[in-house]
Structures are given as structure tokens and as C-alpha cells.
Amino acid sequence: MIYGYCRVSTKHQNLQRQIDALVKYGINQRFIFTDKYTGKTLDREGLNELLNILKPGDTLVVKEIDRLGRNRKETKELIISLIKKEIELVCLDMPYLKEFIIDKIRENGGFLEIMANALLDVILEVAEQERKKIVGRTSEGRKRAIQDGRKFGRKAKISLNKFKEYYEKFLKREIKAIEIQRELGISKQCYYNYITLLKKGNTDEI
């Protein structure tokens, strides 16, 4: 079975570029697992679900190797773990990774295995530094855009007054919180953000 994994490390990035690359490779979108901006560890919902599904002989495809972990150490540990579990790893941006590195680590080649491990360290270090540069450039670009008066963020889905109508029904036990979220098309976090604004007497939209 072939699976895909995508991750973005900041809330301002979009998963679609990675998803499109995996779909083009031939992976059914139902078997592509994703994670958006989370904490600083490898403990991610999408990744954990995928790791519980993967079996020996399966193939995991990523667009960029550093999407597997938040840093070089985590990424290497996961790659080694996948190798031990006999799961094939394909990186679209590094087609040589499997043949020249992963397969050599899998073999008991002594010197070759040591060289492959060392080369993997170098590749992951380069990927990590490149990712930091991209994040830095993105941050600088956003700061310049804000200084120029550009605004970021999603457009408000509903007005606070609209939410208030539903929330008053909730207080009267006429509707449940989950039903409000579903009918208004808002997330759980957004739901609580609206409540906070109501309590503060704010009349602006989120």
C-alpha cells in the first residue's frame, strides 16, 4: 500500500502544494495524511495515525524529507525506524535518497552503512538549514507587508451579532454548542473566541 504524508510548520503555510505533488505521483488523496502547525515535538495526530497503519512492505511518500520531523535528529530517528520496520520511503525532491542511502543503511554493509548514515546526516542538515532560511524569509516578507498596510488572516465568516443569536439559544438550552459550530461552519476554537468577545462586550467580527 502507498501512503503520503504532508506537514506545514507554521500556521501561515499551505498544505496544498505538497498534496498536489503526492496526488500527481499517483497517491489516492484518501491515503494522504496531513499535519498543520503544532507543537515542537514529533507527536502529531496525522503522523501518529499513519504510523499505526503502516505495515512491512508499505511505501511512504513525502515531497520534502524534512516534512517528517521538526529537526534533523527527529527526522533521522523516524527514517531509521521506518527502515527497521521494512517500510519503503520515497522523497520526491530527493529521488536518490532510497537507492544511495536508505538501501545502504538497510544492508549490513559495514563501511557502506557508516557512509550512508553520514551522508544522511549531511542531507538532513542541509534540508534543516534551508527550511530555516525559508521560514526566515517568509517572516521578513510578512513584516514588510504589514508595514505596507497589507492585512492577513481569514475573512470573518459571521458577525458577532449573528453568533450572539445562536449563543442565546445555547444559554436557554435550545441548542448544543456542537450544533452551533456545525450550523455556522466555525471551528471549536472559533466558537470560544466568539464567546470571549461577547463577554468583553466587543462588537467586532473575528
Q: How many CB atoms lie within 10 A of CB 188?
A: 10
Q: Is the separation of the CB atoms in 92 and 63 below 8 Å? A: yes
CA distance 172 to 167: 9
CA distance 137 to 164: 40
CA distance 76 to 121: 8
Per DSSP, 29 falls in state G
Catalytic residue among 9, 81, 139, 159: 9
**Active-site residue flag, 9:** yes
Q: Which residues are catalytic?
A: 9
